[in-house]
């Protein structure tokens, strides 16, 4: 059942066939547990490991996570103190990393099936890797989870009794306000009341300024840059952000027009005379979540945003780069992993528009 629109609309999830094909490819590349151990060791210590005695050991048996130091004869654990330390299912970890880095959107249940692990284990592994990705999102766009109502429908232990899962939002807002009060910080003032669309709230002053300029009629990029005294790269960045929120449309002739209907988000494509071809947007993220994960909890919204970044960004996330990011990260304890609560402003990352051209 392939749709004839597939060339127009960006895909929002992976089909069963796409997933099975990627899983097949993985097992062709890394058929044994030793192959996966090898991938892990190469990510953690590509050149070798330093023994406690100071000896740098480069010789290691294929697929072995431990080395005997030839000088002091002590056992060295290659993955000690890393994300992969004590990992009992190297195949499942490598498969999860591989699928995420191949842009495969997969539910925890189906991943568990493909990796031959229990559902809960599959979910935990995906969460652990997503957590690593989250730690690499510092420079991403902030989006308030208050806007996530349409994807939040799964209870978590943060959900107040007998309330809708989205009630976590108000709870978290209360907690943040209380924390600020305790620490003597003045809570952030309520958002200013303007006639601008509410989608602009999480945007900065520059985005608002640009939006005001293009609100009534389309303006071309040169006039925009003449009207605003900031570097061109900042204007481009702000326009990108506005596109993400579905607030700006790119018209032929390098013109920008305000999009008043946030539901009618335009996805400029390379074939069109758009300056910033992009696949991602808030709406696209919601579609991805709904198609792949159905409903998620507010608590873990940030991790689904991380997976969405992996789903989209083939330049940034490759099998090697995601393995490397994991190798550099510390392994969260189960308590750390499950006590996490997404902040009120979640990071949402998109592929660099420049890379997409």
Least Cβ distance, residue 34 to Zn ion (angstroms): 24
Q: Could you say whether residue 71 binds Zn ion (CB under 5 A)?
A: yes
**Does 53 sit near Zn ion (CB under 5 A)?**
yes
Q: How far is the CB of 96 from Zn ion (least distance, A)?
A: 33
294: Cβ contacts below 8 Å, ≥ 6 apart: 107, 153, 154
Binding mask 85-124 for Zn ion (x = CB under 5 A): ----------------------------------------
State the nearest-atom distance from the C-beta of 76 to Zn ion, in Å.
Answer: 7
Q: At closest approach, how far in Å is the CB of 61 from Zn ion? A: 17
> Total binding residues for Zn ion by CB under 5 A?
6
Longest distance between any two alpha carbons in the chain, whole Å: 76
Region 174-193 residues binding Zn ion, contact defined as CB under 5 A? none
* Span interacting with Zn ion, options 69-77, 118-126, 228-236, 249-257, rule CB under 5 A: 69-77
Alpha carbon distances (Å) from 44 to 61, 66, 143, 273: 15, 12, 33, 44
CB atoms within 10 A of CB 243: 26
SS3 of 338, please?
helix
Q: Which stretch binds Zn ion (CB under 5 A): 55-63, 187-195, 207-215, 311-319?
A: 55-63
Q: Which tokens hold the place of 222?
A: 């040169």
Site for Zn ion in 249-278 (CB under 5 A): none
Q: Tell me the C-alpha to C-alpha distance, in Å, between residue 52 and each of 65, 67, 69, 70, 191.
A: 16, 12, 9, 12, 55
Are 226 and 263 a contacting pair, CB within 8 Å? no
Q: Which residue in the set 51, 112, 134, 210 belongs to the binding site for Zn ion (CB under 5 A)? A: 51
Q: 51 or 96: whose CB is closer to Zn ion? A: 51
Q: Are 237 and 276 in contact (CB under 8 A)?
A: no
Q: Figure out which of the listed residues 72, 118, 188, 320 binds Zn ion, where binding follows CB under 5 A.
A: 72
d(CA 212, CA 235): 14
Q: How far is the CB of 54 from Zn ion (least distance, A)?
A: 7
For residues 278 and 313, give the distance between their C-alpha atoms in angstroms, rounded to a whole number: 11
CA distance 31 to 353: 36
The nearest distance, CB 68 to Zn ion, in angstroms, is 9
Residue 61: CB atoms within 10 A of its CB come to 11
Q: In terms of CB distance, is 9 or 74 closer to Zn ion?
A: 74
Whether the Cβ atoms of residue 332 and residue 163 lie closer than 8 Å to each other:
no
The token duo for 233 is: 């790269």
Neighbours of 325 (CB within 10 A): 20
Binding Zn ion by CB under 5 A: which of 12, 19, 39, 69? 69
Residues 304-333, mask of contacts with Zn ion (x by CB under 5 A):
------------------------------
> Which residue lies nearer to Zn ion by CB, 51 or 95?
51
80 binds Zn ion (CB under 5 A): no
Q: How far is the CB of 42 from Zn ion (least distance, A)?
A: 21
Report, in Å, the least distance between residue 48 CB and Zn ion. 12
| List of residues contacting Zn ion (CB under 5 A) | 51, 53, 55, 69, 71-72
């Amino acid at each position: 059942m392939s749709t004839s629109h597939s060339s127009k609309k960006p895909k929002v999830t992976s089909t069963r066939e796409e997933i099975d094909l990627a899983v097949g490819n993985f097992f062709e590349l890394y058929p044994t547990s030793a192959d996966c151990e090898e991938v892990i060791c190469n990510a953690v210590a590509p050149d070798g490991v330093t023994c406690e005695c100071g000896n740098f050991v480069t010789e290691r048996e294929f697929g072995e996570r431990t080395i005997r130091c030839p000088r002091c004869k002590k056992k060295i654990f290659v993955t000690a103190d890393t994300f992969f330390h004590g990992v009992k299912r190297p195949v499942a970890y490598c498969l999860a990393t591989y699928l995420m880095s191949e842009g495969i959107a997969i539910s925890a249940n189906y991943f568990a099936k493909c990796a031959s692990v229990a559902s809960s284990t599959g979910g935990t592994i995906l969460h652990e890797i997503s957590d690593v990705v989250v730690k690499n999102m510092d420079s991403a766009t902030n989006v308030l989870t208050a806007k996530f109502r349409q994807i939040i429908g799964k209870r978590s232990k943060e959900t107040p009794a007998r309330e809708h899962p989205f009630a976590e939002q108000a709870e978290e807002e209360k907690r943040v306000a209380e924390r600020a009060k305790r620490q003597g910080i003045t809570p952030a003032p309520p958002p200013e009341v303007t006639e601008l669309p509410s989608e602009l709230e999480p945007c900065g002053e520059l985005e608002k300024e640009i939006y005001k300029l293009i609100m009534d009629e389309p303006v071309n990029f040169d006039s925009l840059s003449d009207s605003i005294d900031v570097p061109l790269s900042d204007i481009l960045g702000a326009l990108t952000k506005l596109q993400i929120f579905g607030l700006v449309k790119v018209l032929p002739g390098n013109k920008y027009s305000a999009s008043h209907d946030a539901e009618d988000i335009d996805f400029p494509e390379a074939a069109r005379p758009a300056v910033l071809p992009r696949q991602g947007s808030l709406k696209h993220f919601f579609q991805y979540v709904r198609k792949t994960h159905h409903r998620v909890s507010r608590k873990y919204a940030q991790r689904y945003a991380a997976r969405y970044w992996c789903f989209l960004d083939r330049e940034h996330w490759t099998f090697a780069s995601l393995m490397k990011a994991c190798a550099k990260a510390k392994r969260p304890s189960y308590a750390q992993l499950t006590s996490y609560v997404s902040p009120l402003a979640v990071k949402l990352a998109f592929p660099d528009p420049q890379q997409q051209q």
